[in-house]
Amino acid sequence: MFGESIKRKEDPRLLRGEGSYVDDIDMPGALHAAFLRSPAARARITSIDTTVAAAMPGVVKIYTADDLGDLDMDLPLLIPHPSMRPKTQRPLARDDVFYVGQAIAMVVATDRYLAEDAAGAIDFELDNLAVELGLDAALAPDAPVVHEDLGDNLAADLVMNEGDPDGAFERADHIVEIEVTVDRSTAAPMECRAIAARFDRLTGDLLVYDTTQAPISIRGGLASILDLDEDRVRVIAPDVGGGFGQKVMQFYPDELLVPLAAIELDRPVKFTEDRTENFISSNHERTQIHRIKLAAMNDGEVIGLVDSLVHDTGAFIPYGIAVAQVAASVIGGPYRIPNIGTHLKCVYTPTVPVSPYRGAGRPHACFALERAMDQLALDLGLDRWEIRRRNLIAADEFPYHREGLIFATGTPVIMDSGEYHESLDKLEEAIDVAGFEAKRAEAMAEGKYLGLGLGFYVEVTGVGPYEGGQIRVHPITGKVYVNTGLTGQGQGHETVYAQIVSDVLSCSVDDVIVTEGDTGVFDWGVATFASRAAVVSGSAIHKSAKLVREQIIEAAANMLESSAEDIVLEDGKAFVNGVPDRPVGFAAIATASNPLRYSFSESSQVATQFAPASQHDGPPLAEGAHPGLEATDYFSPEQDTWASGVHAAIVEIDPVTLDINIDRYVLVHDCGRMINPAIVEGQISGGVASGMGGAFYERINYDDDGNLTNASFMEFLMPYATEVPHMEMHHLETPSPLNPLGMKGVGEAGTIPVAQVIASAIDDALSHLGTSPILHVPTSPSMIHEKLVEAGHLVEE
Amino acid sequence: MKPAPFDYIAASSVAEAARARADSDYSVLLAGGQSLIPTMNFRLAQPDVVIDLSRVSELRTLEVDHSWVRVAAMVTQQKTELDPAVKAANPLIAETLARVAHPAIRSRGTVAGSIAHADGAAELPALLTTLDGEVTAVSSRGSRTISAEDLFEFHLTTTLEEDELISEVRFPVLAPGAGYAFDEFARRHGDFALAGVCVALTLQDGNCESIAIGACGIGSRPVRLREAEAALMGGTINDEEIAAAQEAARGYVTTETDMTTTQAYRRHLLAGLVGRTVRTAAARARGGE
Amino acid sequence: MALTDASNTVNVELKVNGKAVNADVDPRLLLSDYLRHELRLTGTHVGCEQGVCGCCTVHIDGHPARSCLTLVGQLDGSEIRTVEDLAGADGQLHVVQEAFHNNHALQCGFCTPGFLMSIVGHIEHEENPDLSDEGIRDAISGNLCRCTGYQNIVSAVREAIEGSDR
Ligand SMILES: Cc1cc2nc3c(=O)[nH]c(=O)nc-3n(C[C@H](O)[C@H](O)[C@H](O)COP(=O)(O)OP(=O)(O)OC[C@H]3O[C@@H](n4cnc5c(N)ncnc54)[C@H](O)[C@@H]3O)c2cc1C
Ligand code: FES
Ligand code: FES
């Protein structure tokens, strides 16, 4: 099954409308929460009066910071780092608000309509303070500060170096220096975040459904913050409608307050964000300014790179410097640049906090580096493909070490494997670079502008620390149950894990049932992020499956009175080699492996027809043995795996609208061995679509006062099908040496190079008119217009 | 995002709706709800009274006579777009409607609702303005006709009185052989346009005998580009005249530069769309002669 | 989610997935909330409550429409069809559902019911559906998907149209 594009196991229920997303889960008698959120970016709360609101129909309780007792505290700092001056927010604002959208009060009422009515009736007054949203300006000495006790807006400052960048710049024939800006965006999963909690006063059990990507961690946090026994708290991430990083952030205030209210009010409580709330209070990402310099020799060899990046972390830094550190550590991309200097600064601004969104720093780094490579090619009069070819790390240079740069997980950069040159060659041929100039000339003759762009990227994936996989064979049905701790948000884990297991155990994929993200079932593990699920959980499940396979073979050998070497597994059954007509099924083997007193199932009748599954003396269960067929194992990667790829596009620019039309979008991608190519292609395609958003459409707009002016799908331009190109995909499968199945992650890949590809294509189409390069994304027809005016090609009165 | 409470009146006739309108201080009419309900969901609109027109059967007629396409207030955009008689009488209507939102919005949204909503970027007000259409406004005081020119006051504001409602929208039938075109540019398919242009013209012996050019998205209300029309009137619609019309069009853009779009870009866009639509309309007129 | 205010209700007769329903509801109740929380037809999803994302698309009197932009009170005498009604009584998936399954046209599945209802409506009403990439993209352009990048949805629509007996 490994390597086959089988249809997904999760589809039928989702297609029938029978998925169970958090808001779908029925909790009879549930109350519903709504929040009063700050309308100001930075302000002092001078009064809050809930009297009128509390008396409104249906209202059960209104919480403000004063009602939270011990929970009125700073929320946890998830990923500490010595470079930081960390600030995290409180569940509900106390005294001050720090961004538009910050929760001030939570209303719990009998339904959401009434909860919103009451939230709107809370009387409060704010005293507005000065704000500064520009990153450079916010770092200036006289800028208004977000956190007064810090004295300035610097949230973190970190230098990482590899080799001798200064020396390289002294030696260089040529130096390129550019400044690029990537604007703020947001993950915008189609399902907003939601949480539902129920507390059982008699047993003390707290049951929480949460759209989180990290249920185990939420469970631990809830238990410790609410002072509950960890085993009494069960957190389930059921079907989740996309996450893309936004849902790995924890704790959002509601994730704590909804369970709190369920306990205190002794009623189930539900909260489902609406789209506005998702825009103004769930984490954003993307704004970074990179000032990047390349030191090159005349033949195009890049011998040094220095990047100084400023990262907008929003009003708080709960997820640490992860996004900025990813960007800094991958800034060398796929190139053999031996000397690299990075300096990152994180800046507090009075805006929604920032944590990873699909790509998490990789798209920013790729944009900065690849724009600089294009500029270098232009300066040296070299072809854009050729300059890349001259600098790509060769296949025989792996593992490639850049240990002065530390990735956000704390591991040094060691790139495991890749076939970068082959990727580039393959793409050059697939998009027919040789034939492009003729096409361009043809288009020009019709008054159209045509450009070709490309972007190369690497994707760090499959990061540690570890994940686990538990496998057990059900004694009645013989079905194989697989449990792992991380979660899915649409990536098809149920199917790919089943493929892995079905191969090892030789059973049907249909008989493998995967459960993930339910701490009541399996509660060791970390979370879904950094394209790690297939690699880390997949490898753990593979290891566990091999253990179960041994158990099955040993038991079957005993039952069939043969030796283990002679046992063949096929289609959920075992038989002695050459005797396929006397098989024993997994159900009977599992039953026989469990010394039971009672017989109640068909499989126990079957099992009695064979010899005992275990040959040992003494009590029914041998010392040290466990009943049934079951194993749990873990995988902890020694290093991260590095996927890669290169995309190119031919883009036409309409002279009237200055809109882009993508004639062809072609990509070559390498994520090691693919478990299910259709699922891989789906991941890439979705990634490219978000990348198109970041290249040309999606920008979160804050005005100078810190108001988010486009907090809706009407104005935040997430692309429809009409704005996303058809993609032609080619694959390489360079196996990773770091895990037994040779896999690498793919979740974020598609997104990474798109802004570069589009910018590079637009430049290529227009530069003959004298336009300056696109160094700021997302770009737009209006921005292209400005470039044409600047170049004197269009005249503006 | 749920609507705030309101008093709900399910009117069963125009008269009843008009009476309800007269009786309340802050009422809104609910037609297809495709503009009103989003604003209520966001609680940007919190009316005291909502007068639902969905049960008023007399407002569901769609008729074509020799001078007018008559669209009663509860006729949906989709029904109007797909009606063969409407298409025959004035194909510009369907061409323009196809650019309004998405099919799943047009199946509920009404033509009259869009006119009454009077969004400066909306296509239908520009269409009505271009064609010199009109509406019938009804109140318990009686009824009156308001021409497109007099109807649109400002973004989201018409000259309807507080107690009035639109019972019918009328678009003139296009003259036989007339050329027409609608084109617009929106960042995403189905979005409100950054600029849109509507053209109807007739030729007599190859010369432009009549022409109307209207635009949306460029100001706080739909605009007739009279100077652009003048540049083409009487001529053969050649490249030079079109260039003059395009130049003249630029000056009509009053939407200021905002966070995403400069005014200069909108001028460029408008001029380009004028060129495209005039060429298409002229070609259709020539083909039809 | 209970009725919000018993003193101010509107009574409507509807058919939902072929079954007659008499609803006595608060006039501000959105069809999306009514379907999801009162009839427990949770296949209809809510992504924006503004008409843009299309997740909540159902059929009203045979035409795709946004349930988040419709008050239950407006629907007296209407027929509503939701995603739960697409598969046959025998459980057989609708051709469009089948085509989505064959083409890996869904990932998280949150947008899927809305796409299905839009596409089924499109196929039912369009006499000569355009099978070009561009034509299909136009037809599905009122629905947002954050996961798939649309490519496989386009393939699924093509397969469904080619495969349906028209
Ligand atoms: C996602 C989305 C995209 C859209 N894109 C576009 C677009 O590109 N272009 C565009 O033009 N529109 C667009 N619209 C708006 C859509 O066309 C609306 O249907 C239309 O503007 C209003 O029609 P309605 O029948 O829904 O009116 P309603 O929403 O019911 O009413 C709108 C306003 O008009 C008033 N009103 C309604 N009927 C009457 C009447 N008979 N007399 C007096 N006042 C009345 C109401 O009180 C209300 O103030 C979009 C809507 C959505 C949700
Ligand atoms: S929820 Fe109705 S269109 Fe988004
Ligand atoms: S499949 Fe997740 S939004 Fe479409």
The CATH number that applies at residue C35 is 3.10.20.30
The answer as to whether C88 is a domain residue is no
What is the C-alpha R_g of chain A? Answer: 28
Contacts of residue B27, defined as CB under 8 A and 6 or more positions apart, other chains included, come to B20, B21, B47, B48, B49, B50, B51
Helices (H) and strands (E) in chain C, counts: 5, 5
CATH 3.30.43.10 fits B7-52, yes or no: yes
Whether C122 and C149 map to the same domain: the answer is yes
Structure-derived torsion over alpha carbons of residues A197, A200, A205, A206, reported in degrees to the nearest 10: 10
Q: How far apart are CA A91 and CA A127, in angstroms?
A: 21
Is residue C89 in a domain?
no
C85-143 pLDDT, tens digit each? 999 989 999 999 999 999 999 999 999 999 999 999 999 998 889 999 999 999 999 99
* Shortest distance, CA C55 to any CA of chain B (angstroms): 11
Instruction: Locate the chain C residue with the closest alpha carbon to A190.
Output: C47
pLDDT at position C2 is 47
Neighbors of chain B by Cβ distance (3+ pairs < 8 Å): A, C
Domain count, chain C: 2
What's the Cα-to-Cα distance from A270 to each of A115, A259, B4, rounded to whole Å? Answer: 11, 9, 20
Write out the E strands in C61-110. 63-66, 79-81
For residue B289, pLDDT beyond 60: no
Please state whether A490 falls in left (phi above 0), alpha (psi between -120 and 50) or beta.
left
pLDDT, one tens digit per residue, over A167-223 is 999 999 999 999 999 999 999 999 999 999 999 999 999 999 999 999 999 999 999
Give the atom of ligand 3 at the shortest distance from the alpha carbon of C109: 1
Selection from A491, A493, A499, A498 nearest residue A3 by Cα: A499
Name the strands in the sheet holding B7-10, side by side, starting at the edge strand that comes first in the sequence. B7-10, B49-52, B27-30
Q: Under an 8 Å CB criterion, which residues of A touch B?
A: 112-113, 116-117, 120, 274-276, 655-659, 697, 699, 701, 703, 709-710, 712, 714, 717, 719-720, 722-723, 780-782, 785-786, 789, 794, 796-797
Of A699, A731, A734, A703, nearest to A716 (Cα)? A699
pLDDT at C6 > cutoff 90: no
A464 touches chain C (CB under 8 A): no
Q: Nearest 5 degrees, angle CA B11-CA B17-CA B21?
A: 130
Half-sphere exposure of C128 (CA within 13 A, CB side): 0
Question: Which helix (H) or strand (E) covers residue A198, if one does?
Answer: strand A194-200
The answer to whether the Cβ–Cβ distance between B78 and C70 falls below 8 Å is: no
Please name each of the domains of chain A with its CATH number.
11-129+188-281 (3.90.1170.50), 284-463+638-790 (3.30.365.10), 467-635 (3.30.365.10)
Give kind and range of the element (H or E) at residue C13: strand C10-16
What would the CATH number be for the domain defined by B179-285? 3.30.390.50
Element (H, E) at A604: helix A602-608
B185 membership: H or E segment, kind and range: strand B179-185
Phi-psi region of C91 (alpha: psi -120 to 50; beta: other; left: phi over 0): left
Cα A50 from chain centroid (whole Å): 39
Q: Which of A187, A38, B10, A640 minimizes the C-alpha distance to C75?
A: B10
Angstrom distance (rounded) from CA B146 to CA B116: 12
Question: Looking at chain A, which residue has its C-alpha nearest residue C109?
Answer: A14
Cβ neighbours, 10 Å, residue A740: 14
Which residue among B6, B29, B102 has the greatest number of ligand 1 atoms within 8 angstroms of its CB, and so is best to mutate?
B29
Strand partners, B151: none
What sign has the CA pseudo-torsion A593, A596, A602, A606?
positive
- Which residue of chain C is at minimal alpha-carbon distance from B34? C69
Length reported for chain B = 289
The position carrying tokens 């639109």 is: B166
Q: How far apart are CA C140 and CA C143, in angstroms?
A: 6
- Domain endpoint, select from C38, C53, C82: C82
| Assigned domain for C126 exists | yes
Answer for the pair B171, B126: CB distance below 8 angstroms, yes or no.
no
Q: Which of A193, A164, A180 is nearest to A279 (CA)?
A: A193
CB contact under 8 A, A15 and C101: yes
| Pairing mode, strands B165-172 and B68-72 | antiparallel
* Cα gap A217→A525, rounded to integer Å: 9
- Domain closes at, from C50, C82, C114: C82
Ligand nearest to C-alpha B107: 1
Question: Within this chain, do residues C102 and C35 fall inside the same structural domain, yes or no?
Answer: no
CB burial readout A88-109, b (16+ within 10 A) else e: bbbbbbbebbbbbbbbbbbbbb
- Output the CA–CA distances (angstroms, integers) from residue B210 to B200, B248, C128, in the order listed: 8, 17, 36
- Residues in A touching B275 (Cβ below 8 Å): 656
CB A494 within 8 A of CB A246: no
Quick check: B288 pLDDT over 90? no
Taking CA A526 as the corner, what is the angle to CA A525 and CA A530, rounded to the nearest 5 degrees? 135
Is A279 in contact with A716 (CB distance < 8 Å)? yes
- C149/A190 touch (CB, cutoff 8 Å), yes or no: no
**Nearest to residue A417, comparing CAs of A473, A365, A460?**
A460
**Hey, CA dihedral for B89, B92, B95, B98, is it positive or negative?**
negative
CA-wise closest residue to B16 among B46, B51, B49, B68: B51
Q: Are A347 and A311 in contact (CB under 8 A)?
A: yes
**Strands, DSSP E only, in A51-151?**
59-63, 96-97, 103-109, 123-128
Distance (Å, whole) CA C14 – CA C17: 10
CB crowding A163-197: b at 16 or more within 10 Å, else e: bbbeebbeebeeebebebbbbbbbbbbbbbbbbbb
Task: Please state, in angstroms and rounded to a whole number, the distance separating the CA atoms of residues A471 and A630.
Answer: 6
Does residue C55 have its Cβ closer than 6 Å to ligand 2? yes
Decide if C87 and A188 are in contact by the 8 Å CB cutoff: no
What is the pLDDT, as a whole number, of residue C5?
55
Shared domain for C40 and C75, answered yes or no, is yes
Last residue in a domain, options C39, C54, C82: C82
Indicate whether C11 and C65 sit together in one domain: yes
In a shared domain, residues C70 and C126 = no
For residue B75 and ligand 1, the question of a CB distance below 6 A is answered with no
pLDDT of residue B103: 95
Which residues in chain A have their CB less than 8 angstroms from residue B267's CB? 796
Q: Are residues C72 and C99 in the same domain?
A: no
* Cβ–ligand 3 contact at C44 (below 6 Å): no
pLDDT in tens, B151-210: 999 999 999 999 999 999 999 999 999 999 999 999 999 999 999 999 999 999 999 999
For residue A740, the Cα-to-chain-centroid distance in whole angstroms is 24
Structure tokens, A58: 């249906």
CA atoms within 13 A on the CB side of A138: 27
The mean pLDDT of chain C is 94
User: Rounded to the nearest 5 degrees, what angle is found at the Cα of B142, between the Cα atoms of B139 and B144?
Assistant: 90
CATH topology of domain B58-172: 3.30.465
In this structure, the dihedral spanned by the alpha carbons of residues A596, A597, A602 and A607, taken in order and rounded to 10 degrees, is: 60
Ligand 3 centroid to residue A242 C-alpha, Å: 7
Contact C102 A7 (CB under 8 A): yes
Domain encompassing residue C18: 2-82
Residues in chain A, pLDDT under 50 = none
Find the closest chain B residue to C126 by CA distance: B82
Give, in order, the Cα–Cα distances in Å from A92 to each of A62, A275, A279, A319. 12, 20, 18, 19
User: Contact C50/A713, CB-based, under 8 Å?
Assistant: yes
C51 lines ligand 1 (CB under 6 A): yes
CB atoms within 10 A of CB B202: 21
pTM: 0.97
Nearest CA-CA partner of B30 in C70, A272, A278: C70
C111: tokens are 């947008």
In A239-393, where do the E strands start and end? Answer: 269-272, 284-285, 288-296, 302-314, 339-348
- List chain A residues with CB under 8 Å of B34: none
**Same domain membership, residue C139 and residue C112:** yes
Higher pLDDT, A604 or B114: B114
For chain B, the structural domain boundaries read 7-52, 58-172, 179-285
CA distance C132 to C151: 13
Q: At residue C153, does pLDDT exceed 90?
A: yes
The answer to whether the CB of C10 is under 6 A from ligand 2 is: no
CATH code (residue C155): 1.10.150.120
Q: What is the C-alpha end-to-end distance of chain B, expressed in Å?
A: 54
String of DSSP letters for A1-48: -TT--PPPTTHHHHHTT---BGGGS--TT-EEEEEEE-SSSSEEEEEE
Ligand 3 centroid from CA C106, angstroms: 6
